[in-house]
Amino acid sequence: MKLMNNKLIAQMRAATRNLLHKPQLDTNKVIQDALKNASAMTQAAQAQLHGLSQANGNAHLRTPADVPDMLAELSRTFGQGGAAANEPAETLPGTFSEGSYTNAAGTRSYKLYVPSTYRANSEAADAGQKAALVVMLHGCTQDPDDFALGTQMNALAEETGCLVVYPAQSRQANASRCWNWFNDVDQQRGRGEPSIIAGITRKIMGSYRIDPGQVYVAGLSAGGAMATIMGTLYPDLYAAVGVHSGLPFAAANDLPSALAAMQGQLQRQRADETQPGRAIPIIVFHGDQDHTVHPTNGDELMVHARDAAHAMAVEPGRVPSGHAFTRTLHKGADGKVHGEHWVIHGAGHAWSGGSARGTYTDGKGPDASREMLRFFSTHR
């Protein structure tokens, strides 16, 4: 059975490569060929494959970018690569609770981690004892539990005392649970998904003792693209942005241009028109072997920080028994680092330094979560 599963995963990876890089090929045929080997599989596995095959021929497969996400779901069916659907949450002393937020643009649920060190009583009223808040936007097919497990951000929240909120995309809004970063309405302040995410942020700020100068947003892939949107549209709300394997603001305005952007062909018609007057501090991680979102996107994310910089430093490094990386620092006139770009050599489309209990993670580091929190702590 294990050999059968490995063969199937290999075939599905072939389908992914075909659709992402050779869209003229018949990816559905590759999927159908995989189905021929389904006789020895579990019913759940067969259903997963049939669903992928059917989706490839209808509107549920909204973009070729959905195929890697469906492959991740298939991998979890076989217990390979990433967390299982029933993977238990981390055992931490804080609380990880559910909530929801509704406005004119719709409703989204979220999960909030409050560390055990948080104090809500009046003795913590002075600003010095208010907590930081990090908004974490998951990637396609992920959910708050999966993303929390993979990034290990809740454990770091226990160390640093910050609160972490994970907005959840719904299947009604996107069949693969991708944030709709490529829709025009979702690139506008006060409208669409940005208004919902900002609403969730403000709800947490209004319910807990949060320092309004220490609110940050970060995300992976589609979540990284949406984090860029949030930082661009709401520089008054977020002090800094963290983007992992994501895309720059207004890189696309529909599904075809989204696929082109993911391959490194970016549109920039609206980006320069709608950027805020100041470049928001940003830290970017991108693997140089990322075949889902081209590393060119990481370079483009640094354009404004690079243009505003008064000095630049390049620091190569390597994680012991892990990936080599190149870290580029862009410093402002105040001497503070306002932009960091980490290019991880040999890494693909996965959260650097993440836990294998979550999906889309690469444990060979560097630790993107810890580095993001370190960068955030220097910006208010």
- Provide the CATH number for the domain around residue 145: 3.40.50.1820
Same domain, 125 and 170: yes
Domain stop point among 77, 104, 126: 77
Same domain, 130 and 221: yes
- Structure tokens, 187: 């690139």
Cβ contact 373:159 at 8 Å: no
d(CA 193, CA 215): 18
Same domain, 257 and 359: yes
Nearest Cα residue to 350 out of 341, 363, 360, 340 = 360
Report if residue 359 sits inside a domain: yes
- Structure tokens, 142: 């992920």
The single-letter code of the amino acid at 209 is R
Range of the domain at 66: 2-77
Burial class (CB in 10 A: 0-12, 13-18, 19+), 57: exposed
Report if residue 338 sits inside a domain: yes
Same domain, 195 and 288: yes
In tens, the pLDDT along 297-342 reads: 999 999 988 888 889 999 999 999 999 999 999 999 888 999 999 9
Nearest Cα residue to 137 out of 254, 58, 239, 221 = 221
Same domain, 296 and 369: yes
Report if residue 255 sits inside a domain: yes
Under the banding of pLDDT at 50, 70 and 90, the label for residue 42 is very low
d(CA 346, CA 190): 39
d(CA 184, CA 297): 19
Tell me the three state secondary structure of residue 308.
helix
User: To 5 degrees, how large is the angle CA 93–CA 98–CA 102?
Assistant: 150
**pLDDT value of position 309:** 85
Report if residue 86 sits inside a domain: no
Q: Indicate the range of 81-90, 213-222, 296-305, 364-373 predicted with least confidence.
A: 81-90
Backbone angles phi, psi at 147, to 5 degrees: -65, -40
**pLDDT value of position 279:** 77
Under the banding of pLDDT at 50, 70 and 90, the label for residue 97 is very high
Same domain, 60 and 137: no
Same domain, 64 and 211: no
Report if residue 121 sits inside a domain: yes
Query: Residue ranges of the alpha helices (H) in the chain?
Result: 2-21, 27-35, 43-55, 66-77, 144-151, 153-160, 192-207, 222-233, 255-262, 271-274, 296-301, 303-308, 368-376
Domain stop point among 45, 77, 109: 77
d(CA 309, CA 327): 15
Domain stop point among 51, 77, 103: 77
Report if residue 88 sits inside a domain: no
What is the torsion angle, in degrees rounded to the nearest 10, for the CA atoms of residue 261, residue 267, residue 270 and residue 274? 50
Same domain, 234 and 293: yes
In tens, the pLDDT along 250-298 reads: 999 999 999 999 999 887 654 444 454 567 999 999 999 999 999 999 9
Same domain, 67 and 199: no
Nearest Cα residue to 61 out of 185, 206, 180, 175 = 175
d(CA 22, CA 237): 41
d(CA 313, CA 44): 51
How many CB atoms within 10 Å of residue 288?
16
Put residue 294 in one of left, alpha, beta given phi > 0 → left and psi -120 to 50 → alpha.
beta
Would the pLDDT of 22 be above 70? Answer: no
Report if residue 82 sits inside a domain: no
Number of domains the chain contains: 2
Report if residue 90 sits inside a domain: no
Same domain, 105 and 145: yes
Residue of 352 and 64 predicted with greater confidence: 352
- Spell out the residues 6+ positions from residue 299 whose beta carbon is closer than 8 angstroms to its own: 341
Maximum Cα interatomic distance, the chain, rounded to a whole number of Å: 66
Same domain, 145 and 6: no
Q: Mean pLDDT score of the chain, rounded to an integer? A: 81
DSSP category for residue 185: G
Residue of 147 and 69 predicted with greater confidence: 147
Same domain, 65 and 196: no
The single-letter code of the amino acid at 330 is H
